[in-house]
Structure 1
Amino acid sequence: MTELLQYIITHTQFPEVSVKNTIQLLNEDCTIPFISRYRKERTGNLDEVQIETIVTHKEQFEALEKRKKAILKALDELDVLTPDLQQKIASTQDLTTLEDLYLPFKKSRKTKAEKARQMGLEPLAKIVMSQNANDLESIAFKYTKGDVTSVEEALEGARHIIAEWINERTDVRNNIRYQLNRFAMISSKAVKAKIDDESAQKFRDYFDWEESLSRIPSHRLLAILRAEKEGFIKVKINIDDDKALAKIEDRIIRSRNACAEQIEIAIKDAYKRLLLPSLSNEALQIAKEKADDAAISVFTKNLKQLLLGSPLGEKRILAIDPGFKSGCKIVCLDAQGQLKYNETIYPHPPKNDTVGAMKKISSLADAYKIEAIAIGNGTASRETEALIRKIHFKNEIQVFVVSEAGASIYSASKIAREEFPNYDVTVRGAVSIGRRLADPLAELVKIDAKSIGVGQYQHDVDQTKLKKSLDRVVSNCVNSVGVNINTASKSLLSYVSGIGPKLAENIFNYRNEHGVFSSRNDIKKVPRLGGKAFEQGAAFLRIKESKIPLDDSAVHPESYPLVTKMAKDLGKGIQDLIGNSELLKKIDLKTYCTESVGLPTLQDIVKELEKPGLDIREQAKVFTFNQNIKTINDLREGQLLPGIVNNITNFGCFVDIGIKESGLIHVSNLADAYVSDVSEHVHLHQQIIVKVLEIDIPRKRIQLKLHK
């Protein structure tokens, strides 16, 4: 525990007591949302991001310790573990140094050095490295026996052993690492056989490219590595070879005799054959990991914004998955998102049944008392929106264009089949579009996050790290909003603190069998949902219309007695406190402080009582594109257009301006000053005004500028 504590403090600079208590809570199977929200006194008010940082470093330390144990066991079995080596391994704080310590003992019988040892040439190598021999040829001649037939073969074998020794020297490796870190260049060349391949053209910028490895933006490195993986280019990492060799020679050669000549040849061999290939790959891998982290950071920010997108709320919705030849799939949903009706209409070519389609939509709107229409933003979206706006509805109906990203993934998924076993994928897709308008979070949690299509190169980054990061984001979003336990899907419930997939299924099944939960205490009746799960999850599960008013709030059940006492001290009931700011101001919070409950928790309780169950998300707003812009050919430089941000990357953001092609606002066009973080200037689904800077019709590219 002491070593783990020191490791995390060293890497985070967080207060010792905060780190210690957070580790204890994590070891007690407490979740990040629970700790950050309900254990502020113990953590020193650390937020979710800080607690996640502690978790990350805890995992790194545990991985390091696991590797140390494996290496110590291997060295012990080889009977080479000395007290000094054991101490060095024990005190190592990073995996790179650890692997360098282990490197001399990772022998393979296939290496040139090992073959030379088997021919008895290691003593000769030691003589050469001593750099004291005057008549090296005569000495080497003594080793010409067996498979060694000449002096040159003997010296060559000795050089192979010396090259391996040089490769295993930590100081030499660290010096090369330093040069790679500071001066490495990454270059790429086209594979001539693939240069005319149509799929290669999107990578043509990298057919002849060179850039500093330490300065290359993450998105460009990932693009280059994808191009290499697909076989369109070859990638190399280079440094100044002469400078690198001179640095090694300065460390090793201390004479000017024949031994020095042999060592110089061995150094060049070690550098070219062993050091540079290994360490340049290591440098590229480190750069790739940094690029992965940057891409994952962009993805997680985007995903959070998307999940916390504006919900329309419980409204009766008519949703349309538009199409041409296959028609437009229509579904009618009630206020709880249940499917009430579905049909296909054909208002667009080739059938062009515009009149029939308009009549059908109008009659369905009346029959199901529709309050809003959701139109998917895919094929035929603009044409369908124009059709809807021609209809004169009896009542006012809001019309929204909704992102379809990932809807096809959901519609073919096991979750969708379970929800709608008697309907095909087209109906399920339309339902998903409608539900996304009502509550983006509740619907999007059903889809594998990386299929949603926000971010950059998500399929090229470390998939384990990506999944872990995205799962945390989804969990944090779900718990920050809270979940209505009586309407939530299994997918949504599974992300609630302390619940998980199995308990989510148990809750779902119990609800179907016994009816809705009438209080938070009822949750304890769910099979296998024990005290720990209740502690971690109860406050994030809301009960609408419960007899206990706090059940529809973020106040934890463990604090109910405290709120009861506050109300009693004021001569009021709990219901009287809710929403009554004037009454709540009369509470002297300091009088309710205890060893376990401090001001942070008490302030959270009062804030929640002021507006219990308040949704932190903004409500959905209607948006209309410029109806005169239908294709890229309608654009003109200098035009000001309304748009919606539909993706954010490190190099800028993409904007839907109502046509097939999204436009790019490069990071340099987001503001007049330098922009370090795109997310500080725009967020996903933000409605903005853009200025058209450049239109490249052949390449279907549109350059935009954010108009203030």
Structure 2
Amino acid sequence: MQLLNFIKSQTNLPSKGIENTIQLLNEDCTIPFISRYRKELTGNLDEVQIGEIVKYKTQFEELEKRKDTILKALEEQKVLTDELKQKIDVTTDLTTLEDIYLPYKKKRKTKAETARKNGLEPLAKMIMSQRVNDLEYTASKYITNEVETEDAAIEGARFIIAEWINERTDIRNNIRYQLERFATINTKVVKTKENDEKAQKFRDYFDWSESLNRCPSHRFLAILRAEKEGFIRVKIEIDNERALEKMEDRIIRSNNDCSKQLKLAIQDAYKRLLFPALSNEILNTSKEKADEGAIKVFAKNLQQLLLGAPLGEKTILAIDPGFRTGCKVVCLNAQGGLVYNETIYPHAPKNDSIGAMKKINSLVDAYKIEAIAIGNGTASRETEQLIRKMRFNKDVEVFVVSEAGASIYSASKIARDEFPNYDVTVRGSVSIGRRLADPLAELVKIDAKSIGVGQYQHDVDQTKLKNSLDAVVESCVNSVGVNINTASVSLLSYVSGIGSKLAENIVNYRNENGAFTSRNDIKKVPRLGNKAYEQGAGFLRIKNAKNPLDDSAVHPESYNIVAKMAKDEKCTVSDLIGNKELLQKIELQKYCTQTIGLPTLKDIISELEKPGLDPREKAKVFTFNQNIRTISDLHEGQLLPGIVNNITNFGCFVDIGIKESGLIHVSNLSDKFVSDVTEIVSLHQQVIVKVLEIDIARKRIQLSLKKS
């Protein structure tokens, strides 16, 4: 099967779009570049559709690679026939391919292999034919030094038959079908671990049973984690009698001694070979599906987090709160540069709240602070209450900022390189302040799975998780655009076509030669060739450039079109920018060329109307209920303000201003049925929730968004 047909059969996308996208991918074009600047070639495919093409292209290439390996092995064994080759060539999935190869696969020493060496394969064939009337007499002819009795001969023949049955594709597929449709997943607690404190969070699965195909991804992953940690045992079960009957119906055609031996061979094949292998296969398949579901949730959460509302270029005082070790305070300039740091001790045991307030007041005045960012960890509420009691000489907005992953950043090489003369506490405070100014620019410095916005991210396939999250970060960075004169190496490395090495070269060039003044200057960066420039230029912004298009998403390859538009309208390019009335009058048809059509021209007009517009909302101040400080302050029926801080398949978690986040189960999200949590809530959404249930012992809070 050809790559184009394979992808089309999986996606139903237009052939021409698939074909051209494959060509662009083979030319090392990135997904953001293709979706933004090659719409005419792809037929206006979006990032998700192009991502699907990439996925199935990779899948096809892996399949073809495996086919080549198998064909080579079969040629070496001299068993490759035209029929077998044809069978392999037309196969479109890995499972079927492996089933075809199974009879020829080199096996470690097996009972069947030993029986073959003892010359029992002819006897196995005779039993399989079911035409032998006196089986004991026939078996006696195969007695040797290695096979001492008729029973031993028959047993050896059964081992060979069991292997043949195991290798039959129709039988394997029938058991697969039963496992897919009727399998149950059953769990039992390991008795010696029943009272283990760590096991209690898995208490629901100490004695659990449900249909495997109806087990949701979060529950399946929780069960596997409990098994991995040794608290429970997991079994997959189907109706064994039914499975054996279906096998017998396919094999047994007589009622003699042969049929009795075949029945024994079928039981042996099922119990020893088929069920262990295929139940593991269904478990792996279920794990892959669960991983896929969890990764999708994580990716969607990460996208919302990265595209969280930035405060923008403001002077910020950031506080990493603490009790005994004090609150680490830093002052950042509008570009996020560290200009001052100190530790204050407003809380126990020192309780120097007056001294702390004086210090904060003086810093706000001295550094013309416009906003205060407070980390949401230990002592966050106490610090927030202290700050909100203060009266400043100017308007200062106060924000509580998520610290998730800040400690990972502060101990990282990136942080050490940025702040070699400061310790982890100062770096952590800087990260909190910068997150308020621009969440995207700061969060790209942290390993995405450490941010903590998903479910069971450490249990899923780590390669697939990394690929998915990298794609999300790349998409977010390029959708927003990057100021090349202020961006960090981490941020630049996600720009289309750039990567980590070129990002370092850009920053080094900037440090040595000063700010870039035009997009053309980017070409001077060492090792940044024409391809990288083509892929990345449209996503790199240059503020206050001589050519205003350098601070827009208009690609340099289209500058001449904009210049022609301006000339035709008898004005300058600058006159066009922001002039919606004039732009709407332009007849786009006359600017179409062989390579640039209406989709790109419409994008250009949209960009000229609002050049370099940040698609993100602006950060808004939020205040928790000041009377709620611990879980003990809660009571059923309370209405509380909160912020959605995590989304899973089974609901969402809400920060209500205390250490424990509350859960809104999917059934309590709306008065209507909810199939997708993200249809109702988004990450960092501000909500009013109702307290349904409080379990202080287990530190669990049940919340509701229902109006009734």
- The TM-score with structure 1 as length reference comes to 0.99
Q: Is 1:159 the equivalent of 2:164?
A: no
Look up the match of 2:514.
515
What do the CA deviations read for 1:530-574 (whole angstroms, capped 9, x no partner)? 111000000100000000000000000000000000010000000
Look up the match of 2:47.
48
Counterparts of 1:686 and 1:108, CA distance in 2: 56
Counterparts of 2:463 and 2:380, CA distance in 1: 35
- Kept in 2, the 8 Å contact 1:689–1:707? The answer is no
Counterparts of 1:701 and 1:529, CA distance in 2: 53
Look up the match of 2:100.
101
Counterparts of 1:329 and 1:267, CA distance in 2: 71
The letter of the residue matching 1:318 is L
Look up the match of 1:459.
458
Counterparts of 1:707 and 1:533, CA distance in 2: 51
Look up the match of 2:139.
140
- Kept in 2, the 8 Å contact 1:119–1:146? The answer is no
The letter of the residue matching 2:564 is K
Percent identity over the alignment?
A: 76
Counterparts of 2:72 and 2:145, CA distance in 1: 36
- Kept in 2, the 8 Å contact 1:218–1:295? The answer is yes
The letter of the residue matching 2:344 is I
The letter of the residue matching 1:606 is I
Counterparts of 2:551 and 2:157, CA distance in 1: 78
- Kept in 1, the 8 Å contact 2:671–2:706? The answer is no
Look up the match of 1:192.
191
Q: Is 1:201 the equivalent of 2:212?
A: no
Counterparts of 2:411 and 2:690, CA distance in 1: 39
Counterparts of 1:75 and 1:191, CA distance in 2: 46
- Kept in 1, the 8 Å contact 2:692–2:703? The answer is yes
Counterparts of 2:158 and 2:671, CA distance in 1: 60
Q: 1:694 Cα shift?
A: 1.0
Look up the match of 1:692.
691
Q: Is 1:469 the equivalent of 2:493?
A: no
Look up the match of 2:571.
572
User: Counterpart of 1:399 in 2: which secondary structure?
Assistant: strand
Q: 1:108 Cα shift?
A: 2.2
Counterparts of 1:25 and 1:145, CA distance in 2: 67
Runs (5+) with no aligned partner, structure 1: none
The letter of the residue matching 2:188 is K
Counterparts of 2:261 and 2:472, CA distance in 1: 58
Q: 1:105 Cα shift?
A: 1.2
Show the 5 A alignment for 1:67-466. Answer: 67-466=66-465
Counterparts of 2:555 and 2:145, CA distance in 1: 81
Counterparts of 1:78 and 1:358, CA distance in 2: 82
397-406 vs 120-129, greater mean Cα deviation? 120-129
- Kept in 2, the 8 Å contact 1:555–1:608? The answer is yes
Counterparts of 2:391 and 2:179, CA distance in 1: 68
Q: 1:109 Cα shift?
A: 4.1
Look up the match of 2:677.
678
Q: 1:637 Cα shift?
A: 1.1
Q: 1:707 Cα shift?
A: 5.0
- Kept in 2, the 8 Å contact 1:109–1:115? The answer is no
Look up the match of 1:591.
590
User: Counterpart of 1:214 in 2: which secondary structure?
Assistant: helix
The letter of the residue matching 1:453 is G
Q: 1:673 Cα shift?
A: 1.1
Counterparts of 2:140 and 2:680, CA distance in 1: 74
What do the CA deviations read for 1:43-62 (whole angstroms, capped 9, x no partner)? 01000000000000000000
Runs (5+) with no aligned partner, structure 2: none
Counterparts of 2:68 and 2:325, CA distance in 1: 61
- Kept in 1, the 8 Å contact 2:18–2:42? The answer is yes
Counterparts of 2:44 and 2:606, CA distance in 1: 16
Counterparts of 2:596 and 2:201, CA distance in 1: 58
Q: Is 1:619 the equivalent of 2:618?
A: yes
What do the CA deviations read for 1:24-57 (whole angstroms, capped 9, x no partner)? 1111111000000001111010000000000000
Q: 1:106 Cα shift?
A: 1.6
What do the CA deviations read for 1:427-475 (whole angstroms, capped 9, x no partner)? 0000000000000000000000000000100000000000000000000
Counterparts of 1:160 and 1:344, CA distance in 2: 75
- Kept in 2, the 8 Å contact 1:327–1:347? The answer is yes
User: Counterpart of 1:689 in 2: which secondary structure?
Assistant: strand
Counterparts of 2:387 and 2:572, CA distance in 1: 50
- Kept in 2, the 8 Å contact 1:222–1:291? The answer is yes
Counterparts of 1:610 and 1:504, CA distance in 2: 30
The letter of the residue matching 2:499 is G
Q: 1:210 Cα shift?
A: 0.5
User: Counterpart of 2:214 in 1: which secondary structure?
Assistant: coil
The letter of the residue matching 1:290 is K
Look up the match of 1:644.
643
The letter of the residue matching 2:393 is K
- Kept in 2, the 8 Å contact 1:645–1:656? The answer is yes
Q: 1:100 Cα shift?
A: 0.3
Counterparts of 2:674 and 2:590, CA distance in 1: 47
- Kept in 1, the 8 Å contact 2:162–2:266? The answer is yes
The letter of the residue matching 2:342 is E
The letter of the residue matching 1:480 is S
User: Counterpart of 1:330 in 2: which secondary structure?
Assistant: strand
Look up the match of 1:706.
705
Counterparts of 2:29 and 2:499, CA distance in 1: 13
Q: 1:509 Cα shift?
A: 0.3
Look up the match of 2:26.
27
Counterparts of 2:73 and 2:425, CA distance in 1: 57
- Kept in 1, the 8 Å contact 2:578–2:608? The answer is yes
Counterparts of 1:592 and 1:446, CA distance in 2: 42
User: Counterpart of 2:84 in 1: which secondary structure?
Assistant: helix
Following TM superposition, the consecutive aligned residue runs of length 4 or more in structure 1 with deviations greater than 2 angstroms are: none
What do the CA deviations read for 1:361-389 (whole angstroms, capped 9, x no partner)? 11111110000000000000000000111
- Kept in 2, the 8 Å contact 1:327–1:348? The answer is yes
- The TM-score with structure 2 as length reference comes to 0.99
Q: 1:699 Cα shift?
A: 1.1
Counterparts of 1:191 and 1:304, CA distance in 2: 40
User: Counterpart of 1:104 in 2: which secondary structure?
Assistant: helix
Look up the match of 2:65.
66
User: Counterpart of 2:2 in 1: which secondary structure?
Assistant: helix
User: Counterpart of 1:188 in 2: which secondary structure?
Assistant: strand
What do the CA deviations read for 1:501-528 (whole angstroms, capped 9, x no partner)? 0100000100000000000000000001
- Kept in 2, the 8 Å contact 1:167–1:173? The answer is yes
Look up the match of 1:539.
538
Q: 1:121 Cα shift?
A: 0.9
Counterparts of 1:514 and 1:202, CA distance in 2: 57
The letter of the residue matching 2:245 is A
The letter of the residue matching 2:523 is K
Look up the match of 1:495.
494
- Kept in 1, the 8 Å contact 2:401–2:435? The answer is yes
The letter of the residue matching 1:358 is M
Q: Is 1:659 the equivalent of 2:619?
A: no
591-600 vs 437-446, greater mean Cα deviation? 591-600
Counterparts of 2:673 and 2:261, CA distance in 1: 54
Counterparts of 1:681 and 1:507, CA distance in 2: 42
The letter of the residue matching 2:235 is K
Counterparts of 1:241 and 1:634, CA distance in 2: 54
Q: CA RMSD in A?
A: 0.7
The letter of the residue matching 1:526 is V
